[in-house]
Amino acid sequence: MRKLMGNANSRPSEKTDNTTKILLATPEDYPARKICSPCGGEKKLPSSCSSMKKNTEQERKKPTVAAPSWVMAGSVYENCVFLEGKVDEVALLFFESESCLAYGEEDLPRELAQLDLSYHVHLPLDLAWDNPEAVAETIVTLMQKVRFLGVQQAVLHPPVTSGKNALSVEHAQQALRLVARAWSKHGFDCKDLLLENVEGADLIHLAPVITSLELGVCIDIGHIIAYGHDALLDRADIFNRLRMLHLNAPADVTTAKGRSKHASLVHLDAAGKHVARKVLQHVRQDCVLVYELFNWKEIESSFPVVNELFSFEGR
């Protein structure tokens, strides 16, 4: 099986202590998701298969907690096995178009559907927005690869409207309309195509098309801090579309490399915590909280910080 970003020689030992399982929940808050199989037994399904999932009051109390499919050296499947029981959902990292389009069953084995996890996709970072037709085709093809997991949501870095390789606001909006049409044509809901605030695209210039197309929004707290997206904090029209949060802190706001590197939330200073509180107050029960950190220890160290910030908001 092909490995992602490294080898699996240094796999962390799995913890069995459920007290560190996930943020804002105890194990009984998340009963197993099951349906009857044709042979009369019970089979686990990803929680994204919402029409089949047993919806209880306990399941609706807490936001979904997620982690990336790379928290240790190893394959997608090895990472997901490690994460089962620790989080509710996994963000499948399809960061590179060419390599991810080449994925087969070896890379995305059918056994993923048997884990007690739901899934969403983070779409590639290298999409060529000067060719939106090709972007749409790439997105649809990648979503088809994970249809067996019941995946509905995907995070998309929109075309940048400032800085290097920027499109005009008009062209960026046109490109998103084309992608949204392809997304809908293939049976997906536009609210599940989540635009993320990134360097060169704070979403404000794209707010009209987000609203008109009824797209969803993913807010990255670290990006607000690193790239000066503070104006987002007062945009109710954007936060009304919030479906997902990326939780991380910039490693170092004084350098380009440090601004783009995701670090544990323990690195938030007072100003950073203020931003995080402002964002977290918009979290609803249908939001997904993604600890977008690529090391399990950094995710674990971030749990108490978010618990503290939620407590401050009286959540």
Going by C-alpha positions, the residue among 140, 150, 145, 138 that lies closest to residue 113 is 150
CA distances from 196 to 68, 148, 188 (A): 16, 25, 18
Cβ of 233: how many Cβ atoms within 10 Å? 16
Mean pLDDT of 226-232: 97
Question: Does pLDDT of 201 surpass 80?
Answer: yes
Residue 313 pLDDT > 80: no
Non-local (6+) Cβ contacts of 126 within 8 A are 95, 96, 97
- Provide the sign of the torsion angle of the four alpha carbons 120, 124, 129, 133, taken in this order: negative
Residue 314's CB is within 10 A of a number of other CB atoms, namely 6
Tell if the pTM clears 0.75, that is, is over it.
yes
Reported as a single tens digit per residue, the pLDDT across 110-163 is: 999 999 999 999 999 999 999 999 999 999 999 999 999 999 999 999 999 999
pLDDT digits (tens, 9 = 90+) for 30-69: 333 333 322 333 333 444 444 334 444 444 458 999 999 9
